Amino acid sequence: LSADQASLVKSSWAQVKHSEVDILASIFTANPDIQARFPQFAGKDIDSIKDTGAFATHAGRIVGFFSEIVGLIGNQSNVPALYTLTEQLAASHKARGISTAQFGEFRASLVSYLSNHVSWGENVAAAWNVALDNFFFVLTSNY
Ligand code: HEM
């Protein structure tokens, strides 16, 4: 990830990082199999759960994880912390039986959300692609 790419990821993430509920709702809508893995939300209509405190809590954790990662990128001295966080995420999700294919679905839906909600273009798309490739490399190496 070049310095320019890191700053594109940061500036575009800043445009949506407070839309936690909207982001998680769009991921659940596009991937019922992901929603089905959340005991509290499985089988429920998105509109009926979207405005609940429980949904906001989960959305805050999941989207907040990305904010933490994005906050660390672009600085070589943060690489060990990036590895540790990503390895922990792999371990906690592997233990829940979440497949890497489901992470792939999550990625596709997140990119789709970004492309519709931030100033998007070839350079921003390429920057996210490299950042997510790096993240997924570490994640899947630990599966
Ligand atoms: C919990 C992040 C993808 C299912 C969590 C938590 C975080 C998180 C931070 C809370 C801490 C923990 O328990 O580890 C993420 C991120 C993802 C991702 C950043 C993508 C890059 C997925 C996918 C699934 C999933 C694809 C299901 C197919 C769950 C479940 C929980 C959870 C079931 C526990 C919820 C509960 O406490 O009831 N996730 N997650 N996650 N995640 Fe993920």
CB 127 within 8 A of CB 121: no
CA angle 29, 103, 23 (to 5 degrees): 40
Question: Using one digit for the tens of pLDDT, what is the confidence trace for 85-130?
Answer: 999 999 999 999 999 999 999 999 999 999 999 999 999 999 999 9
Tell how far the Cα of 103 is from the centroid of ligand 1, in angstroms.
10
Determine the pLDDT at residue 7.
98
d(CA 61, CA 89): 12
d(CA 28, CA 52): 15
- Average per-residue pLDDT for the chain: 97
> Does 88 contact ligand 1 (Cβ within 6 A)?
no
- 44-70 b/e (C-beta count within 10 Å ≥ 16 → b): eeeeebbeeeebeebbeebbeebeebb
Whether residue 143 has pLDDT greater than 90: no
Q: How many domains does the chain fold into? A: 1
> Does 136 contact ligand 1 (Cβ within 6 A)?
no
d(CA 13, CA 120): 11
The CATH number given to whatever domain includes residue 19 is 1.10.490.10
Instruction: Quote the domain boundaries for residue 108.
Output: 3-141
d(CA 55, CA 122): 33
Residue nearest to atom 17 of ligand 1 (CA): 62
- Number of H helices and E strands in the chain, helices first, is 8, 0
Q: Determine the residue of 29, 62, 107 to mutate for testing ligand 1's pocket, defined as the one with the most ligand atoms within 8 A of the Cβ atom.
A: 62
- Mean pLDDT for 40-54 is 97
Question: Using one digit for the tens of pLDDT, what is the confidence trace for 60-92?
Answer: 999 999 999 999 999 999 999 999 999 999 999
CB 50 within 8 A of CB 21: yes
> Does 34 contact ligand 1 (Cβ within 6 A)?
yes
- Of ligand 1's listed atoms, the one at least distance from the Cα of 102 is 26
- Mean pLDDT for 20-48 is 97
Q: Which residue has the tokens 């949904």?
A: 55
> Does 94 contact ligand 1 (Cβ within 6 A)?
no
